[in-house]
Amino acid sequence: MAFKYSIGQAVEYTPQRQSAGLFEVIRHMPEEDGASDRKYRIKSLKEGFERTVSEFDLQPADLSEGAYPEPVRPPKAGGKR
């Protein structure tokens, strides 16, 4: 089974309870035994880290980067209450 997205391709990813964001495919992840979906490493220019996501969570980006809102980072564990 071939990967749907190419390395360097712009994709849209929507984390749970957040707005969609513009990301770039960084690399294809190795196939896992019994997995029904391919996985990718993606990165946003607005974040300092990469994410591992499943292919079904992505779609081709068709908007410019400025059309996407700033990513919202979850609160850090152990913060003020």
pLDDT of residue 46: 81
Q: Give the other-Cβ count within 10 Å of 16's Cβ.
A: 5
Residue 5 lies in a domain: no
Residue 73 lies in a domain: no
State pTM to two decimals. 0.69
**pLDDT tens digit string along 5-57?**
999 999 998 877 777 788 999 999 998 877 778 999 999 878 889 999 999 89
Residue 16 lies in a domain: yes
Residue 26 lies in a domain: yes
Residue 80 lies in a domain: no
Number of domains in the chain: 1
